[in-house]
Amino acid sequence: MQKAWWKESVVYQIYPRSFMDSNADGIGDIQGIISKLDYLKELGIDTIWLSPVYESPNDDNGYDISNYLSIMKEFGSMKDWEELLMEIHRRDMRLIMDLVVNHTSDEHEWFIQAKTSKENPYRDYYIWRDPKEDGSEPNNWASNFGGSAWEFNEETGDYYLHLFSKKQPDLNWENKKLREEIYTMMKWWLDKGIDGFRMDVINFISKVEGLPDGELKPGKQYASGSKYYRTGPFIHDYLQEMHRNVLSHYDVMTVGEMPGVTPEQAIDYTAEERNELNMVFQFEHVGLDNGPNGKWDLKPLNLHDLKKSLSRWQEALGDKGWNSLYFNNHDQPRALSRYADDGRYRIQSAKMLATLLHMMKGTPYVYQGEELGMTNVAFETITDYRDIETLRVYEELRNLGWTEEMIMMSIHAKSRDNARTPMQWSADENAGFTTGTPWINVNPNYQKINAENELNNPESVFYYYQKLIRLRKQNEIIVYGDYKLILEYHPEIYAYIRTYQDKRLLVICNFYENNPAFELPRDIHFMTKQLLASNYETEEQSDISRFTLQPYEARVYLLN
Ligand code: TEU
Ligand code: CA
């Protein structure tokens, strides 16, 4: 297997709107980020992924781009952005930008032109279809944010496709000129010196010819069309073309966000000899608490499902591709609240989840606030929520007859706003995020959970992350070792072994409040052991052939 800087990296995701406000307008901005770069350096981060900072009407917080070549005014100017890049590079860190090219904003110049007439030269940059005979939508696809995936356009008398909000029309990748415009835009950013891209829903860009109806479930008005747009017929051609024309000319990293991707498909996307992407964000492990009716249908995590899922990915990609490792991002509720305990054992839980993830094979991603043990939020009323998906789902569930209480319970558990409350810097008003009025309320637990407290406490979650990141830099086994699940059927413990040359790494995580017994499998022999990390006081020399774990305990041993 090839060594690579992006395999040895730890990436930190910044959601700019919620990170740090420098000018008291309540909105995070680029100067705010610059003021916190030393904090990220101290954590040990070497690559920053910046969620979109481009010009946008903010229907979906920047994932609806109206100009790819300019910076959103609320975030600052191009000069601020250039300063950010320089300050990042000066600290020997790298910057990857978000590339959102499945769709644009409906306020992008291309779409403003395209919608004016069927003859407009930009018309074919988007996906248009005539109404059915009765005037209804061309097919039954649902938008990922609820409702139909089609919007009628008066001027031309037909519909355009939008897999997300109606202010996010899908681009037509079959149009060669459009593809070339995108490649030119990518080069423009790469020539400014950025170090790569995170590509938004990039497995959606090729749609099946004819856009066939999806399978309608009983009681539903619209169906998922995902079968016809995930990993569509030309996706690999497009990505290989993008690689040939753009990426191959730069030393950069790429990660493709891919809802619904399978391990087999991920190998096709990431195998080195195929020249497409370096890694993908898969979604399997963040869907394990979805009930049969999807995301808002709550179901507790079954640890066995998590073991099966993560192990499947670890083993399948093995030496054939490369994994990204994440529990959190701006679309996901906080993993700590979701898969562990955000109450009494919050600190142990945060460290345990971090241990599980950071000792696996792949490139780890830390989402802002994760390193502080930030938790989900539970705003009392829907008016405190800001996310377009949450607001739309609220309406939809009401129409389906759900009670207010049931709806809010689901929103508290799953809303994307759980991840979007302002970064908690200190116990000052508004968590030190802004001196103005924040665009979304801070989580009321900021007086206890904040960066200042964390930095003053050597036992904090922050310093534990710092340690895990440092260990990765010091031990090649953490980056390159093979993965093997052990104690497969243990109901409470997730444990695995990494192997590299003559070394092994033993990782043990207790997912519950109980005190389960760990028993070392008999076929694991070693001469010496070294305790590399643990979230409780642990005797270095204590026997590990059999011992009792504390609530949410995690340990990492290097065996020789
Ligand atoms: O998300 C794609 C996506 O499908 C999900 O993660 C989405 O948030 C989830 O299905 C909702 O339940 C990406 C971005 O990360 C997200 O923020 C954008 O809203 C979306 O694409 C559209 O650009
Ligand atoms: Ca601001």
pLDDT tens figures, 50-107: 999 999 999 999 999 999 999 999 999 999 999 999 999 999 999 999 999 999 999 9
Q: Counting atoms of ligand 1 from 1, which one is nearest the CA of 102?
A: 23
Which ligand is closest in space to the CA of residue 436?
A: 2
Q: Is pLDDT of 16 > 90?
A: yes
Nearest to 168 by CA among 64, 61, 79, 290: 64
100 lines ligand 1 (CB under 6 A): yes
539 pLDDT tier (thresholds 50, 70, 90): confident
pLDDT of residue 324: 98
Burial of 442 (0-12, 13-18, 19+ CB in 10 A): buried
Mean pLDDT of the chain: 97
pLDDT of residue 277: 98
Hey, whose CA ends up nearest to atom 17 of ligand 1? 331
Q: Counting atoms of ligand 1 from 1, which one is nearest the CA of 103?
A: 23
325 lines ligand 1 (CB under 6 A): no
286 lines ligand 1 (CB under 6 A): no
HSE toward the beta carbon, residue 269, CA cutoff 13 A: 29
Contact 258, 377 (CB under 8 A): no
Contact 416, 331 (CB under 8 A): yes
331 lines ligand 1 (CB under 6 A): yes
Share of the chain above pLDDT 70, in %: 100
Average pLDDT rounded to a whole number, residues 198-215: 98
Mind telling me the catalytic residues? Answer: 200, 257
Hey, whose CA ends up nearest to atom 5 of ligand 1? 331
Share of the chain above pLDDT 90, in %: 98
Secondary structure (3-state) at 388: helix
Hey, whose CA ends up nearest to atom 20 of ligand 1? 63
Q: Is pLDDT of 1 > 80?
A: no
| Alpha carbon distance 557, 104 (integer Å) | 48
Q: Counting atoms of ligand 1 from 1, which one is nearest the CA of 63?
A: 23
Q: Using N-to-C axis directions, what is the helix angle for 235-245 and 176-191, rounded to 10°?
A: 40
Residue 332 tokens read as 């996901």
For ligand 1, the distance from its centroid to the CA atom of residue 63, given in whole angstroms, is 9
Strand-strand pairing, 47-50 and 290-291: unpaired
pLDDT of residue 447: 98
pLDDT tens figures, 316-346: 998 899 999 999 999 999 999 999 999 999 9
Average pLDDT rounded to a whole number, residues 366-391: 98
146 lines ligand 1 (CB under 6 A): no
64 lines ligand 1 (CB under 6 A): no
For ligand 2, the distance from its centroid to the CA atom of residue 58, given in whole angstroms, is 15
Q: Which domains does the chain have, with CATH numbers?
A: 11-103+176-384+423-465 (3.20.20.80), 109-161 (3.90.400.10), 479-559 (2.60.40.1180)
How many residues are recorded in the chain?
560
Average pLDDT rounded to a whole number, residues 171-200: 98
Q: Is pLDDT of 401 > 80?
A: yes
46 lines ligand 1 (CB under 6 A): no
For ligand 2, the distance from its centroid to the CA atom of residue 444, given in whole angstroms, is 21
Which ligand is closest in space to the CA of residue 367?
A: 1
For ligand 1, the distance from its centroid to the CA atom of residue 52, given in whole angstroms, is 13
For ligand 2, the distance from its centroid to the CA atom of residue 435, given in whole angstroms, is 10
Strand-strand pairing, 196-199 and 253-257: parallel
Mutate which of 17, 54, 63 for ligand 1? The one with the most ligand atoms within 8 Å of its CB, which is 63
- What phi and psi values does residue 64 have, to the nearest 5 degrees? -125, 95
pLDDT tens figures, 452-470: 999 999 999 999 999 999 9
Q: Counting atoms of ligand 1 from 1, which one is nearest the CA of 331?
A: 8
Burial of 269 (0-12, 13-18, 19+ CB in 10 A): buried
In sequence order, which residues have a C-beta less than 8 Å from that of residue 86 and are 6 or more positions away? none
389 lines ligand 1 (CB under 6 A): yes
Contact 505, 475 (CB under 8 A): yes
200 lines ligand 1 (CB under 6 A): yes
Q: 528 pairs with which residues across the strands?
A: none
The residue whose two tokens read 């980056």 is 479
pLDDT tens figures, 484-516: 999 999 999 999 999 999 999 999 999 999 999
Q: Is pLDDT of 427 > 90?
A: yes
For ligand 1, the distance from its centroid to the CA atom of residue 361, given in whole angstroms, is 25
Average pLDDT rounded to a whole number, residues 267-278: 97
542 pLDDT tier (thresholds 50, 70, 90): confident
For ligand 2, the distance from its centroid to the CA atom of residue 371, given in whole angstroms, is 23
pLDDT of residue 219: 85
HSE toward the beta carbon, residue 393, CA cutoff 13 A: 24
